[in-house]
Structure 1
Amino acid sequence: MKEKSQKLGFWSIVLLTINAVIGTGIFLSPGSVAKQVGSIAPEIYFCAALFAACLAVTFASASRYVVKSGAAYAYTEAAFGENAGLYVGATRFVAASIAWGVMATGVVKTALQILRLDTSKISNVTLGFLCLMVILLIINFCGMRVFRFVSNLSTVGKLGALVLTVVAGLFLILTTGVNRLAEVELLTNDAGEKLIPALTTGGFVTAVISAFYAFTGFESVASGSGDMENPEKNLPRALPLAIGIIALIYCGIVFVAMRIDPVSLVTSKDVVVLAAVFPNPLLKGLIVGGALVSMFGINVAASFLTPRVLEAMASDGLVPPIFAKRTESGVPIYAFLLTVALAIIIPMAFRYDMRGIMIISSISRFVQFVLVPLAVITFYYGKNRGEVIPNPKRNFVLDVPFSLLSLGLTVFLLAKFKWAAQFSLQVDGKTVPNYYAIVAMFIGYVVLPVGVYLYRARKKA
C-alpha cells in the first residue's frame, strides 16, 4: 500500500506531462513561425496541436500493451525485437541531447540579452553555454532536494508567465479593440520585397514542424511508467488530456500576440519574442523573467534526465559500463560529460540559430513517431516479437486507424520537409552546405548507433 501511495496517480501524470512539454518552445518559436507564414500563425499552431494529439493518442495506446519504462525504446523492442529497440534507444539519447542543447541555447541567449551582451557573437554564447553546464553539474551534485526546488520553481515561473501573457493580451484586445493581424503581411525587407514568403506546401510543413517543437516532450512521459499507478489505464487518458490543455494555452498566446503586435513578433531580435509584443516595461520584464526561470528549470530537469538515458543503456550492457558509473552524490558523471558534449556540438554546428536547432530537435524525434504507430498496430494484431502485458485491453479505433493517421501525418511531414534548407548556410549571398551540421547529425544517427551495435556484438561474442 505504501509503495502504491508513492507512485504517480492520474492527475500527477497530467501535471507531469504539462511540465515536460511546456518549456522553451512557446517562448521562442512564435516569431519564427509568424515569419514563415504571417497571419495564419495561430492556425499553424492548431495544426501542430492536432498532430501532437494524434501522436499522444498513439503513445497512449502503446502504453496499454507495454508498461515497462523506456517509452519508445520499450515499445519498439517489444514489437520488433532487440535490434530495432537498440537503434531507437541510441537515437533517443541523441534526440534528448539535441533538445537539451536547444533549451540551453535559449537560457544562455536570454541571460546574455538581460546582461546587454551580444547574443549573435558565437564566443559569447559558447562561454555562456560552458558556464551554464558547470552550474547544472553543481546543482546535480547538490542532490534531489535542490533539484525538486528548482523544478517546482520552474513550473510556477512558466505557468505564471504564460497565464499572464494570455490574460494581459485578452485585456488589451477587449478594452482597445486592437487587431493588427493584417500588418504582418505588409512587411518588406531592405530590397522592398515582401518579408513573408508566399505559402507553399514545403513552407507550411516547415512552419508546422517549427510550431510542433513547442509540443514535444510528451513522448518521454511514459519513460517513467514504472513509477505510475496503473499506467496501462492512466497514461492513455492523461496524455491526450494534457495535450489538450497545453494546446488551449498555446493557441491563446499566439492568438493575442498576433492581434496586438505581429510586426514585433516577426522583427524583434529578442530571444523571448513574446515580450516584444507588449510595450509595458513591467509586463515585458515579468514575461522575460518568467521565461528565464522556466528555461533554467527545464535545463535542470534535462541535466538530470538526459544523462540517465545513456546510464540506462550502460546498465543494460548496450554501451561501455563506465557510463553507468556514479559519483558518491549519485551523479552519472561520464554520462553527464558525454551528454554535455552532444548538447553543445549540435547547436554549435548550427551556429546557435534558434530556428534551425528547434526544427532539427523536432525532426530528430521522428524515428520514434514512425516506429511507435507501427508497434501499436503490431500489438493489436498480436504479431509482436517481445513481451506485452497479459490480456491487454485492445481498442480497434485507437490502435489501428489512429496509428495509421499518426504514421501518415509523420511520413507526409518528412516527405514535404525542406531538408536542404536546414543543412545549408548563406555565405556572401551564396547558399553552401553546412558540413558541420551534416557531420554532427551523421555521427548522431549513424556512427553512434553503429558503435552501439558493434559493442553489443563484441560482448555477445
Structure 2
Amino acid sequence: MAEPAAAAGGPDELRRRLGVTDAVVIGLGSMIGAGIFAALAPAARAAGSGLLIGLALAAVVAFCNATSSARLAARYPASGGTYVYGRERLGPFWGYLAGWAFVVGKTASCAAMALTVGSYVWPGQAHAVAVAAVVALTAVNYAGVQKSALLTRVVVAVVLAVLAAVVVAASTSPAADAARLAIGSGTGPGGVLQAAGLLFFAFAGYARIATLGEEVRDPARTIPRAVPIALGITLAVYVLVALAVLAVLGPQGLADSSAPLSDAARAAGAEWLVPVVRAGAAVAALGSLLALILGVSRTTLAMARDRHLPHALAAVHPRFGVPHRAELLVGGVVAVLAATADLRGAIGFSSFGVLAYYAVANASAWTLAPGEGRPPRIVPVLGLTGCLVLAFALPASSVVQGTAVLAAGAAAYGIRKAAARRRP
C-alpha cells in the first residue's frame, strides 16, 4: 500500500516475472512470523482450550478476506490495496476509511511486534527493549535500507526451523498430555470469538499476496491460486504449534505465559532449546517490525499525497529517497505505544483496525461483476460478516478505542470535505 505503481512500458516491466511459487513464498514470509509467538497466549486467555476452534474461525475469515482481496488485486493491479479498491468500487470515503484503518491498525501491529521482541529477549524489561527496537529500525528505514526478498526467505527458514523444533520437543515430551486438548467446559462462544479475533492478527500478512499485481505473471490466475496455498500451509503450521504448546502447558499455563513457545520448550524438558526459541522469536519480530514500519510510513505517504493526511508528510528525503517525515512520525507514535501498551491490548487494537480494513475489501468485492472476476457470492458475505463479528468480539477496550479512532478519522474526513466545499 506504499508506493505508486510503476508506469507500464518502462524498465519496471521486467519485474513482472513472479510465478505461483514466488507468490506463495512471499505470502509465507508475511504470515509465518512473529504473530504465532505473540497471539497464542492472549487467545488462550480468552478461550481456554477452545483456542483451536478460534484458530479455525480466524483462518476461515482470513481465507475469505484474502480471496476477495486477490480478485480485486487482479482487477486493479496497482499499489494501494483496499485504499484503492474501496475508492474505485464504493467511493472516496470508503477508500479513505480503509486506508485510515490500515494505518492505525498496523501502527498497533508495530507496537505488538516490538513488545514481542521485548518479551522474548528480556522479559523483565520488555517495554524498554521494545522502544529500543523501534528507534533502531526507524533509523534503518530512514537511511533507506529495506528488507530484501532474500532476507524474507532467511527469516521464514529460521522461524520454520524454530517452530519445528518446538513441535518435536513438545510432542515427544513425557509432559505432553493429550487430555489438555479437549474443549474446556468453561469455554463459551464469546471467548472463542474473541480468541479468533486475536488470532486473526497472526494471519494478517496475507495482504502482501493480494498486492503483487504489478509484479506477477498473469495476476488474474496467479494471485487467486497462491492465496489458498499460502494460507493452507500457514494454518497447518499454526495448528501443529498450538497443539504442541497446549499439550505441554495446558490452556491455563499458556494463558499465563508471556513467552509461550519458550515456556513450552522448558516444560518439555528441552532447556537447550529456550535460547534458540528466544532468538527465533526476536528475529521474526524484528523482521516483521521492519516491514511494518516501512509499510505504514508508505501508506501514510500515499494518503498525504491525496491530502487525506497533512500534506507535509508527503515529503521525500532528497538524499535517502524515503518519506522521512512520515517515517519519523510513525516511529514516534509506535515508540510511545510500545512504552505504554500491553501486548494483548496492542494485538486487540491492531486486529480491530485490520478487520475494519478487510470489511471494506469484502464490500468492494461484492460489487464486482462476473466478468470482472467476482468471487462466489458467499465469500465476500462470509468475509464481511466475519470481520464485523470478530471485530466487535474483541476485548471491550479494543472495541471502544478502535471505534473512537475510526470515528475520529471519519470526522476529520468530513471536516476536510466541508472546508473544501466552502472554498471559492
Which TM-score bucket, shorter chain as reference? 0.7 to 0.9
Contact 1:14/1:239 (CA < 8 Å) preserved in 2? yes
User: Which residue is 2:323 aligned to?
Assistant: 332
Q: Tell me the amino acid that sits aligned with residue 363 of structure 1.
A: F
Q: Which residue of 2 aligns with 1:283?
A: 273
Partner residue of 1:320 out of 285, 297, 310 = 310
Does residue 288 of structure 2 align to residue 298 of structure 1?
yes
Deviation digits for residues 288-322 of structure 1 (CA, Å, limit 9, x no counterpart): 11111111111111122210001111233433332
Structure 2, gaps ≥5 residues long:
1-8
Q: Does the CA contact (< 8 Å) of 1:57 and 1:239 recur in 2?
A: yes
Give the aligned residue type for 1:451. Answer: A
Q: Label 1:330 to 1:456 Cα distance change in 2 as closer, same or farther (>3 A).
A: farther
Distance 1:286 1:267, change over 3 A: same
Corresponding residue of 1:392:
372
Alignment-derived partner of residue 226 in structure 1: 214
Larger radius of gyration: 1
1:65 and 1:379 in contact (8 A); partners too: no
- Cα distance between partner residues in 1 of 2:195 and 2:414: 35
- Distance, in Å, in 1 between the alignment partners of 2:48 and 2:36 is 17
- Relative to structure 1, the CA distance from residue 303 to residue 393 in structure 2 (aligned partners, 3 Å threshold; closer, same or farther) is closer
Query: Does the aligned pair in 1 maintain the 2:46–2:191 contact within 8 Å?
Result: yes
Residue 166 (structure 1) aligns with: 167
Tell me if structure 1 keeps the 8 A contact 2:118–2:129: yes
Q: Distance in 1 between matches of 2:117 and 2:93?
A: 37
Once the two structures are TM-superposed, the CA of residue 156 in structure 1 deviates from its matched residue by 3.0
Aligned counterpart, 2:360: 371
* Correspondence list, 1:146-295, <5 A: 151-170=152-171, 172=172, 179-182=176-179, 198-262=186-250, 265-266=253-254, 268-269=256-257, 271-278=258-265, 279-295=269-285
Residue 244 of structure 1: how far off its partner (Å): 0.5
CA distance in 2, matches of 1:219, 1:145: 19
Within the candidate set 88, 98, 102, 1:88 is matched to 98
Deviation digits for residues 326-361 of structure 1 (CA, Å, limit 9, x no counterpart): 22112211101221233244555xx53212221221
* Separation in structure 2 between the aligned mates of residue 246 and residue 392 of structure 1, nearest angstrom: 29
Amino acid at match of 2:52: P
- Taking only the aligned residue pairs, the percentage that are identical comes to 21
Which of 374, 385, 400 aligns to 1:408? It is 385
Greater shift, 50-59 or 247-256, is seen at 50-59
Cα separation, partners in 2 of 1:185 and 1:404, compared to 1, 3 Å: closer
Q: CA deviation at 1:135?
A: 0.9
Distance in 2, matches of 1:222 and 1:414, equals 22
CA distance in structure 2 between the aligned counterparts of 1:37 and 1:443, rounded to whole angstroms: 26
1:137: Cα distance to partner? 2.5
Q: What is the TM-score with the length of structure 2 in the denominator?
A: 0.85
Counterpart CA distance in 2 for 1:148 and 1:53 is 24
Counterpart of 1:451 in structure 2 is 412
Q: Which deviates the most, 286-295 or 67-76?
A: 67-76
| Cα contact 1:68–1:225 (8 A) shared by 2 | yes
Listed as ranges, the gaps of 5+ residues in structure 1 are 120-124, 187-195, 382-390, 424-437
Deviations, residues 105-163 of structure 1 (Å, cap 9, x unaligned): 211332222xxx344xxxxx1x4343222211332244346766754543332222122
